[in-house]
A and B are shown apart, each in its own frame.
Chain A
Amino acid sequence: MQNAGMNIEDKGGDKLVLHVGPQHPGSGHFRLIITVDGDYIVGAKPDPGYVHRGAEKMAEYRDYIQNIPHLERPVIIDATGVTLPYVLAAEKIIDVEAPERAQYIRMIMAELNRVISHLYWLGIYGIFLGHSTMFMWPMGDRELFIDLAESIGGTRVTFSYVVPGGVRNDMPTHFKERALKTFDYFEKRIEEYKKIFFNNPIMTARTESIGIMSQADAIKLGITGSNLRAAGIDSDTRKDEPYCLYDRVDFEIPTRKEGDSYARCIVRLEELQQSMNIIKQVLDLIEPGPIKQVIGGVMRGEPGEAFVRTEAARGTMFYHIVSNGEKYPYRVKISVPSFRNLIGMTHLLVGSKLADMPAIYWSLDYWPVEADR
């Protein structure tokens, strides 16, 4: 490990191997080994694992409650999105069910987290395209949603809020007014975002017809989340297999036909609006009531297994928990959306221009910590 695996290879001819990351303003905790021939990328090999912390193994040494905080850490931008499927699976194993109010609050938190996560993505995408206003605006507006989530969950990002049997604590009073005020403000902001960024000719020139993922490829490669919807497939776990009480709210699934980077951006932008619509409906539906079914003693699962998938900010989050009746789960398998989208990144980069790499890379909303677990 003399040079930590970082060497520049000369492939002969005009080809050159470049290493993007792991220390690079555009890569995050991730390395991409790309082969370029002149301006074009002819080979791309992802090298993830820089944040592999062994969450699946650690989960075998912690009980069902202790597992929540560390399973949340892989995607702390989308903390509820990642713990919700775990909790739902654990509930199946422990055989409890959360009361209705708790289900609604979970939905509020999940949607708030989706907005927080998408705004973070948008801010970074702004930087990737050299548009610093688009970093500042979403980052600033994101704080408003963080405030809302903080008023429910208690911390800025790592809430550990959803627990087996319900949620940790109730919503504050006046949450509804605060939330509606924020949404009113943000709906106006979305129009401004469109003006300055999404309809900006520079932005469209850099993203339209770049990194096109065809519908057939998206299905074949197992792409998920907004990236799949940008390729024209209206698949969303919230509708396909409703969990919590998503079958009681009415929302649309934004899709696009083009499958290029721009389509992926627009789909995410429209999802912001849909998330706010869901929260508004939930705030009308929610009734006072208990928020937690108290489970006495140590939680022990029945022997058996549970699969649960939910729609997190980046796509379908899937948990498979095997229990053998002990205090600790026997096996926890997490299948995260970023990991599944990784194969799509390799596919998209090959054949595109080197200069288009940032526009493609971050349009997939790849979050390395999540992929590595």
Chain B
Amino acid sequence: MVNDPTLNLLVGKISDILDTTIEKNVREPIRFLVNWGRLYSLWPVHLETACCSIEFGAASGPRHDIERFGMLEAFGSLRQCDVLVVQGTVTRKMAPRMKWVYEQMPEPKWVIAMGACAISGGLYMDSYNVLQGVDKIVPVDVYIPGCPPRPETLIQGIIELQNKIRKSKV
């Protein structure tokens, strides 16, 4: 019953709903609804890669409380996560693991590069063991500068990501 998209347009598998909407040519409201659902329930992967993670921790604390903005707590299994926040330096040892984590996340998925290290190596631009920018191995959607970014900056980055999701096609 529930999976029968003709009965209720909003209950069931997303792919079925989409097929129906394409058939019936009611794409725009559905796109809005799907994106709206996605952008306020972002599950981040708990992948601490370096020191920026403490500002991520502070951002989930009571003063900044990123849950207000629809970023949930980072306790889920990565099979149910949809945003990978790369919290700082990715070393040569961590890089294959991070790619692995990214590959295991289900679609749709987004990546936030947090901190100067994740963007370009930052302070560690001449270190022998640091990947100079995570966009070399995973596609990045939002870059958050800072070393470490203040929690407010992180929140700004999340809002940017939500804007991006809001505009995205389904």
| Direct A–B touching, Cβ under 8 Å | yes
Q: Taking beta carbons and an 8 Å cutoff, which residues of A are in contact with B?
A: 1, 3-4, 6, 22-25, 28-29, 49-54, 57-58, 61, 69-70, 73-77, 120, 123-124, 135-136, 139-140, 142-143, 146, 156-158, 369
Contact of A52 among B60, B63, B93, B147 (CB under 8 A): B93
- Cβ B48 vs Cβ A52 within 8 A: no
Closest chain B CB from A212 CB (angstroms): 29
9 contacts between A and B (CB under 8 A): A23-B46, A25-B75, A29-B49, A49-B93, A70-B123, A136-B61, A139-B62, A140-B63, A142-B61
**Does B91 sit within 8 A of A, measured CB to CB?**
yes
Contact A69 B94 (CB under 8 A): no
Contact B96 A4 (CB under 8 A): yes
- B148 proximal to A (CB < 8 A): yes
Chain B residues touching A, range = 35 or more
Q: Contacts A1-B96, A50-B94, A53-B127: A143 and B46 contacting too (C-beta < 8 A)?
A: no
Q: CB-CB < 8 A to A52: which residues of B?
A: 91, 93, 129
| A31 to B, closest residue via Cβ | B97
Residues of B within 8 A of A146 (CB): 58
- Interface bits B129-170 vs A (CB < 8 Å: 1, else 0): 110000000000000000110100000000000000000000
Chain B residues touching A, majority SS = loop
Task: Find chain B residues with CB under 8 A from A124 CB.
Answer: 57
The CA-CA distance from A75 to B53 in the complex, in Å, is: 11
B126 & A61 in contact (Cβ 8 Å cutoff): yes
Does B62 contact A70, Cβ atoms closer than 8 Å?
no
Q: Which residues of B contact A (CB under 8 A)?
A: 45-51, 53-55, 57-58, 60-63, 74-75, 78, 89, 91, 93-94, 96-97, 100-101, 123-124, 126-130, 147-148, 150
In contact, B50 and A139 (Cβ under 8 angstroms): no
Name the CB-closest residue of B to A156.
B150
Provide the bound-state CA to CA distance between A143 and B61, in Å: 9
Whole-angstrom CA separation of A3 from B100 in the bound complex: 8
Task: Name, among A4, A29, A61, the residue most crowded by chain B CB atoms within 10 Å (CB to CB).
Answer: A29
**Docked-complex contact A25 and B94, CB < 8 angstroms:** no
Supposing A51-B89, A52-B129, A136-B62 touch, asked if A29 and B148 sit within 8 A by C-beta, the answer is no
Task: Tell me whether B78 and A23 are in contact (CB under 8 A).
Answer: yes
Q: Once bound together, how far apart are the Cα atoms of A70 and B91, in whole Å?
A: 15
Separation of A39 and B28 alpha carbons in the complex (Å): 54
Q: Least Cβ distance of A68 to chain B in Å?
A: 11
Which of A3, A123, A157 sits near B148, CB closer than 8 Å?
A157
Contacts of A120 in B (CB 8 A): 54, 57
